[in-house]
Amino acid sequence: MTAVTAVPETTGASGLVVDGLRKEFGGRAAVEGVSFTLRPGGSLGIVGESGCGKTTTARMLVGLETPDAGTVHLGGRDRSARARGRAERLARAREIQMVFQDPYLSLDPRISVSACIEEVLRLHFPLDAPARRRRVAELLDQVGLGEREAAALPRRLSGGQRQRVAIARALAARPQVLILDEAVAALDVSIQAQILDLLAGIRRDEGIGFLFVSHDLAVVRHITDEVVVLRAGAIVESGPTTSVLTSPEHPYTRLLLDSVPRPGWDPARISAGRRALA
């Protein structure tokens, strides 16, 4: 009924401001008119099912894809146009870091944990070797890893430990925004809760903004303040997480909510609702 478009704040100077983002693949729009604002230190969820454009959106924000239209500003600076020169590319990389879904694929199997984090430090900061080592130990400690893990190759680590390494590596650049693309989806529930706890603590202590890309509404409810719901590349609903998840306006958001299994759950009714919406 109500077509919802998130209007970017006109101040535009602070936070991550995304306006009218569009990306086509093979003549079909994967992302269309996506706009939202992540205030500094805020936490915004991008929710949707596979193919809704949430990962493409995240990739445009970090610069892994170039948008066909629309702009991305961080702290008032435009980062949607192609970066000019190495310095600007590095500066952009430092501002927004990303943690991926699969910690088995996102770490180089031949490089030890400490070397992998040191590389980021060497790239971004003029630290001498002892200072770098101190910072590596500090970062690993922050994500709950010790000396034994620091010396290990990724194959010696569990999925949860690897994801901690990926988070430490992202934090190493001192980013303003951390994009977490399904970062806890591949973990066992008992480990997932540990990582969610860790992330909440990092946000509290460091004031880093989180952009949390996920299909899991329950996880999004606990880690974000605001949420946008994507369907077929476009935003169907957005607003404060609690109000969107308590009184969803769009039937698709309602369907997503109803689909979360719980006692007394009626999958037959949900599939009827899904067909009605298609």
Partner 1 sequence: MQQNLLEIDDLTVRLPEGRAARPILDGVSLSVAAGEMVGLVGESGSGKSVACRSVLGLLPERARTDGEVRVAGRDVLTLSRDGLKELRTRQVSMIFQDPRASVNPMRRVGDFLTEGMRAAGVPAAAATDRAEELLDAVGIRDPRGALRRHPHQFSGGMLQRVVIAAALASRPSLLVADEPTTALDVTTQAEVIAILTRLQAERGTGMLFVTHDLELASAICDRVYVMYAGRIVETQAATDLFDRPRHPYTAGLLACTPRVEPDAAPPRPIPGRPVSLAESPSGCAFAARCAHAQERCSVEKPVLRQYDGQGLAACLRADEGILL
List residues near partner 1 by CB under 8 A.
Answer: 49-50, 158-160, 188-194, 196-197, 215-219, 221-222, 242, 245-246, 255-265, 267-268, 270-271, 274
Work out the angle between the directed axes of helices 251-258 and 267-277 (0-180°, nearest 10): 160
Q: Between 84 and 275, whose beta carbon lies closer to partner 1? A: 275
Min dist. Cβ of residue 179 to partner 1 (A): 20
CB atoms within 10 A of CB 25: 11
Closest approach of partner 1 to the CB of residue 218, in Å: 4
Complex with partner 1: residue 49 or 78, whichever CB lies closer: 49
* Shortest Å distance, C-beta 56 to partner 1: 16
Min CB(82)–partner 1 separation in Å: 34
Nearest to 74 by CA among 16, 19, 145: 16
CA-nearest of 161, 170, 140, 204 to 62 is 170
Question: C-beta of 278: minimal distance to partner 1 in Å?
Answer: 10
User: What DSSP element (H or E) covers 251?
Assistant: helix 251-258
How far separated are the first and last CA of the chain, in Å rounded? 15
Closer by beta carbon to partner 1, 15 or else 239 = 239
What's the rounded Cα separation, in Å, for the pair 192 and 199?
11
Single out the residue of 249, 252, 255, 254 nearest to residue 232, CA to CA: 252
Comparison of 75 and 144: residue with beta carbon closer to partner 1: 144
- Beta carbon nearer to partner 1, 173 or 244: 244
DSSP structure class, residue 101: S
85 Ramachandran zone, left/alpha/beta (phi>0; psi -120 to 50): left
Closest to partner 1 by CB, 54 vs 73, is: 54
Judged by CB, which is closer to partner 1: 25, or 265?
265
- Give me the least distance between CB of 54 and partner 1, in Å please: 12
Select 175 or 233, whichever has its Cβ closest to partner 1.
233
Q: How far is residue 109's CA from residue 107's CA, in Å, rounded to a whole number? A: 6
Query: In the bound complex, what is the minimum distance in angstroms from residue 83's beta carbon to partner 1?
Result: 34
Q: Which residues pair with 234 in a beta bridge?
A: 231
Residue 277 tokens, joined: 């919406």
Cβ atoms of residues 211 and 58 within 8 Å = yes
Shortest spacing between CB 31 and partner 1, in angstroms: 18
Q: Pairing relation of β-strands 177-181 and 209-214?
A: parallel
